[in-house]
Structure 1
Amino acid sequence: MKKMKSIQDEEDTLLGKRVYHLYRARFAMLAIYGSIGLFNNAIWVAYTPIVEQASETYGVDEGAINLLAATYLACTIFLTPLGSWMCDVKGPRAIVVTCGILNTLGAWIKYASGGNFWILLVGQLFCAVAQPLFLPVPPKLTANWYGEDERTVATGIGSLSVVAGIAVGYGLSIGLVEEEPNNCCKHLNLTLAILVTIPSVLGLIFFRDFPPTPPSSSSGAERDDFFASAKNVFREGPFIVLLCTISPGYGICTALFSLIGNLATGQGYSEELSGLVGVVLVTSGLLGAIIFGTILDETKMFKQLIKLAFGCAAIAVTLFLLAMQFGWPPWVVLFLSGISGFFLLALLPMCVELGVEVTYPATEGVVTGALLLIGNFYGLIFFFILQILIKDEDSDGDLDSTLSLWVLLGICWICCLGSVFIYGDYKRLDFERQEKGEEFGQAGDPNSGIQSQYAGDSLSDHEY
């Protein structure tokens, strides 16, 4: 990698005006960030599909094992403002390095815990503290490194690579419990400790906040500071509406991922199936984020695509939960979970990017942090409500999650109906278009005498 240079030293010009370049190193930055977040989230839900085995290993009840996942939700509520501040003031590198250290320490403490639940909980807390710090990073990272026609896809990959850790956690748990049913927890902790250490070291060595030159006019533009952004975003009506729709939806996702094992077994399905449901939800969600993000980057139809995804997600989740409720075959449950994840998880990066658009020039860290803070607050409430409802026992003495499924379904439709009211102007896009008009004339305008580099929205990759 070439030595970093200042933006001024690397600035290219076209007839005295700035030309914006993209650097291949942007893919490495996104990969390092995504890997750290991926394995952090794998640690979050690693015991969710194997609650019974974990409770036997550590000599506690299943509620205590579920508490391991709840620590993430609690830390996110209290520490997301700190993550937003670090993202905007200290930069993404400070977060990547800090979270890498916390992840590595926490993972190895969990491995060293043996069968002691309290040492295990301490290690989990180290990793839980890291999550709210790195969650606000994707839109800031993509704004610093990616062009305007790549941002939504890159934000989606960054956001959902973190969520993909849930699939990794489920997959590792299922695989190890089948191979080593008596020592699955020990081997799971060791595997995750090794995996989380690798990207942490890479982040410490290679990760950077900025490329040599900005990728777009908005990236190099003057922005509100952290505290001004925090004050101004809550004065924006479109952002308040977005908070009231996507935040409860995000809360549904976090509660669902934390309790999928109990929800599935409460309807008579196996723990292995619950793990597979988590894997399918996340992988299909990543695919949905890429497809919707690509369409969004091409069309800039934020509001229309978000409303479409909300409606499709509500229908798909309804069918998915009804399938579990009425005991449909496992393959049907898996198929419907994939359709649900495709639309449901694709909403997060689109709504984050819309939040940045309607609040510009507020900083990305504040906008993302606010959405995730409220979302995790909802998630923590939903988690405890659903866990209480799941503990209602049927006549055979088994857990019954029927009431929890209906509550989830009702919340999902409330969010869907609320999405109808989403509105707002695309302020960041307007700023970038104005900058292009000022610097180059309108792209392709025969009267300007200059053909803009952005005509056709084309950008060239440069070696970095």
Structure 2
Amino acid sequence: MQDSKNNNTIEQNVNTEFLKNEDIQNKDEQIQSQELIKLEEQIESKYKVYKLRYFIIIIFILGMLQISMIQNSFSPQAAQLIIVYKKSNFIYNLTSLIHMIVHVPMSFPANFVVEKYGTKIGNTICCFFALLSCWTKCLINYNFNYAILGQFFVGCANPFMINSISKFSCNWFYPSQRAAVTSLLSFFSTVSGIIGLLIPGIFFSKYDASKDNQETFQEGKNLTFNLLLVQAIVVSVFAVLNIIFYRDKPLTPPSYSANVQREDFQKSLKLLVKNKTYILITITFSLLYGSFIDFAVILGQVIAPFGFGSRDTSIMSLICVMSGIIGSIVLIQILKKNFQYKRLMGLCIIFCILSDFMFYFMLKTRIYVLVVIPEIILGFFIIPIVPILLEFANEVCFPVGEAIISGFLYSIAHVVGFLLGSLFSLIIDTFKNKEESAFWCVITFASIFILSFITIFFMKQSLNRTNAEKNALIQSSENISSSSKI
């Protein structure tokens, strides 16, 4: 009995001590977060930003929109155009997947150009490839291979724009605004492609391949050409605006880190490879970003067996995007207050897993309103993960350049996206029962989310960039104090 009482006493003491330690840790984290917020306010008082940045960010967003418009030109109407152009699911889906694999080799020159010569040169090269892409695709009715070639040029263009996101926000905005700006730009780079799905959905909303001429499918081919021509004209306008008005950086930097000399290209690669947390971030980012892009590509093919068409796909994608806007605003504000990158990412992925399973069960009801509910949840939580991971990578890997850090994240993500996209195409082609193929696609997405969730536990949160800003501020204050004493 005495031993039992002693054991209970010891256990109570251990539990009490554990709770005390946990409270102390939480208080320390709160204090650290408050100190970081005060630090950012002090930094902003020592640097200047320019009103021109708002105009430049609009131009930059238009540059990303031009890529997004032509990235998924063929996805919403996939079920119809596979019949019109008489192609297999795999060959047809190459129009949406080939840019992912091309992105990888092009990231090396893109990273080098953006880091050494600035985002202006990278932006101009991007516009050139975008113009080449959209006008090449207009030749699709002469040969379907022109569509694949045009998407190849999209893959060439994308790295020069997307790898500039973090560097752009660092060049033009205060440290306290960087996460929000990176979130905004990452949001557009990730989901504006889904906005691009809306236009094809409108063009093909009333088209039915079974009612077209079964030999020529001329109506379907005419609609495709008209769609690609409209996209080419819009992209041309956006490209010209970027070439004329876009600027690399302001006259003076907005922060200490914006003016820091970064590591050279080769040394940066070595540092990134040796950084275990960056490797884990890359795995998580690749799985989440790649699978989300694939989801946009195959969504129409997944929901078609349940009675939903091209218009439903476009509307569903748009709703997912709008939810993502709200999610980005809410979650980035939370991140600015507590700087808890890992916890926030874990929370987001848990809801992604839940929404994935809910999506399949709602599909079985064949009620559109119910199917949209899990899409709202998915968009709210998966879209903000991209900027959170980008900012986390920049913190962990500082002083490696932002273009190199984000560039390789997107490179690996596009490889993974291509491989996963090929897997999803194989799943869709393998099962004759298309409802069964939809089930296995959902299971695959859930498995990807679970694997991403596991990797978070092994990451180490090191706020190197924020600490560098803090040290620079302390050093500056000490220098001012020394000068005043003299």
Q: TM-score range by the shorter chain?
A: 0.7 to 0.9
8 Å CA contact 1:277–1:337 kept in 2: the answer is: yes
Q: Residue 386 of structure 1 corresponds to which residue in structure 2? A: 424
Partner of 1:252: 291
1:440 aligns with 2:477: yes
Contact 2:306 2:366 in 1 (8 A): no
Unmatched segments (≥5 aa) in structure 1: 1-16, 451-464
Confirm or deny that 1:412 pairs with 2:446.
no
- Once the two structures are TM-superposed, the CA of residue 279 in structure 1 deviates from its matched residue by 1.8
Counterpart check, 1:20 vs 2:47: yes
How far is the alpha carbon of 1:94 from its aligned partner? 1.1
- What's the counterpart of residue 217 of structure 1? 256
- Please report how far the alpha carbon of residue 203 of structure 1 lies from its aligned counterpart in structure 2 after TM superposition: 1.2
SS of the counterpart of 1:23?
A: coil
Q: 2:468 aligns with which of 431, 436, 441?
A: 431
Inter-CA distance 334–55: structure 2 relative to 1 (3 Å threshold): same
What is the CA–CA distance in structure 2 between the aligned matches of 1:40 and 1:403, rounded to whole Å?
A: 31
Shift, 1:185, TM fit: 1.0
2: distance between equivalents of 1:339 and 1:398?
22
Is 1:280 aligned with 2:280? no
Q: Which has the higher helix share?
A: 2
List aligned pairs for 1:7-406, cutoff 5 A.
19-178=46-205, 182=219, 183-324=222-363, 326-394=364-432, 400-406=437-443
Q: How far apart, CA to CA, are the structure 2 residues paired with 1:164 and 1:65?
A: 22
After the TM superposition, which of the residue ranges 345-354 and 118-127 deviates more from structure 2? Answer: 118-127
Separation in 2, partners of 1:176, 1:371: 34
Partner of 1:12: none
- Give the C-alpha shift of residue 251 in structure 1: 1.8
Partners in 1 of 2:336 and 2:264 — Cα distance?
27
Distance in 2 (CA, whole Å) between partners of 1:242 and 1:416 is: 11
Q: CA deviation at 1:328?
A: 4.8
Aligned AA for 1:408? F
Give me the CA root mean square deviation: 2.5
Write the deviation string for residues 207-238 of structure 1: whole angstroms up to 9, x where unpaired. 11110000001111222112211110121122
Distance of 2:482 and 2:204 partners within structure 1? 67
Distance of aligned partners of 1:292 and 1:448 in 2 relative to their CA distance in 1, 3 Å threshold: farther
- 1:302 is displaced (CA, Å) by 2.3
* 1:317 Cα offset (Å): 2.7
Higher alpha-carbon deviation: 150-159 or 246-255: 246-255
Please state whether the residue corresponding to 2:441 is helix, strand or coil: helix
In the TM superposition, residue 285 of structure 1 has moved relative to its aligned partner by: 1.8
Query: Which secondary structure does the structure 1 equivalent of 2:308 belong to?
Result: coil
The share of aligned pairs that are identical, in percent, is 21
SS in 1 for 2:205: helix
Q: Deviations over 1:400-445 (max 9, x none)?
A: 32212211111111212322332221000001011112213699xx
Q: Normalized against structure 1, the TM-score is what?
A: 0.86
Structure 2 length-normalised TM: 0.82
Task: Please report how far the alpha carbon of residue 291 of structure 1 lies from its aligned counterpart in structure 2 after TM superposition.
Answer: 2.4
Contact 1:171-1:275 at 8 Å conserved across structures: yes
Aligned mates of 1:431, 1:383 — CA distance in 2 = 40
Residue 377 of structure 1 aligns with an amino acid whose one-letter code is V
